[in-house]
């Protein structure tokens, strides 16, 4: 994907200003790309600390993340919550996942059918537990919705769905009532390309900074 003017978009991630490259998706649309695995350890540590601070009042027993880019997020959030174990939902069927619990990801943006898998050996870590589900970016909401279905099938209570960034607003509709459980450290818009320049679509940003909304701890 090609970088397009204005080249970068500055986003506030829990109050830290981060420059993301703006990349052309097609001749009409562009995105600000967050590649958490390219951001370094200090960034990972900061987002882990800030997401942990958001959800610590909920007293989660365990953190669930989905492969691939949710893995470093789940690890750093767990570390900051003082939790040793965490659970990863996988994407590729490895041989030890032959009898895994499977949820389809109902994505409207990718043509490839996707699914998430939970190793049955991990169910004991979730059954009857208070869980927070984390990811790098919540965009369509399809992946987060599938993660939440899988975690609930394993018998856990989902307290919150947390991400570094939310992108656009369409996840609200895709996630239905579960959208109320979503919190992020920042938000990025969708971009429309006009005259060779990517402009943020103002309708794709929420008026209130997402990390400023308190989670109900009841
Ligand atoms: N802007 C983005 N950056 C990284 N991953 C994404 N997934 C969906 N949107 C994304």
Ligand 1 mutation target, pool 3, 21, 33, most atoms within 8 A of CB? 33
- At residue 137, the pLDDT reads 98
How far is Cα 88 from Cα 45, in angstroms, rounded to an integer?
A: 19
Phi, psi of 162 (to 5 degrees): -125, 140
Does 34 contact ligand 1 (Cβ within 6 A)? yes
**Along the chain (218 residues), what's the average pLDDT of each consecutive run of 10 residues?**
94 97 96 97 98 98 98 98 98 89 83 90 98 98 98 98 97 96 97 97 85 62
Ligand 1 mutation target, pool 38, 134, 167, most atoms within 8 A of CB? 167
Q: What ranges do the domains of the chain cover?
A: 41-186
- At residue 217, the pLDDT reads 59
**How much is the ipTM here?**
0.94
- At residue 208, the pLDDT reads 73
CATH class given for the domain over 41-186: alpha beta
What is this structure's pTM? 0.95
Crossing angle between the packed helical segments 70-81 and 41-55, to the nearest 10 degrees = 60
What's the CA-to-centroid distance between 34 and ligand 1, angstroms? Answer: 6
């Amino acid at each position: 994907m090609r970088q397009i003017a204005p080249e970068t978009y500055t986003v506030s991630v829990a109050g830290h200003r981060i420059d993301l490259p703006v990349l052309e998706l097609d001749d009409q649309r562009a995105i600000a790309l967050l590649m958490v695995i390219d951001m370094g350890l200090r960034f990972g540590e900061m987002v882990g600390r800030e997401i942990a601070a958001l959800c610590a009042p909920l007293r989660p027993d365990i953190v669930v993340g989905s492969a691939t880019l949710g893995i470093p997020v789940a690890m750093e959030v767990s570390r900051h919550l003082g939790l040793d174990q965490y659970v990863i939902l996988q994407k590729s069927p490895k041989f030890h996942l032959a009898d895994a619990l499977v949820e389809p990801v109902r994505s409207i943006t990718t043509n490839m059918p996707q699914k998430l898998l939970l190793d049955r050996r991990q169910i004991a870590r979730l059954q009857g537990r208070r869980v927070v589900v984390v990811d790098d970016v919540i965009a369509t909401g399809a992946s987060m919705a599938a993660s939440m279905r899988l975690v609930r099938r394993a018998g856990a209570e989902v307290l919150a769905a947390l991400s570094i960034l939310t992108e656009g607003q369409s996840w609200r509709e895709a996630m239905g009532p579960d959208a109320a459980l979503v919190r992020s450290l920042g938000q990025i818009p969708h971009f429309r390309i006009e005259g060779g320049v990517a402009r943020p679509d103002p309708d794709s940003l929420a008026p209130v900074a997402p990390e400023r909304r308190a989670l109900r701890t009841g």
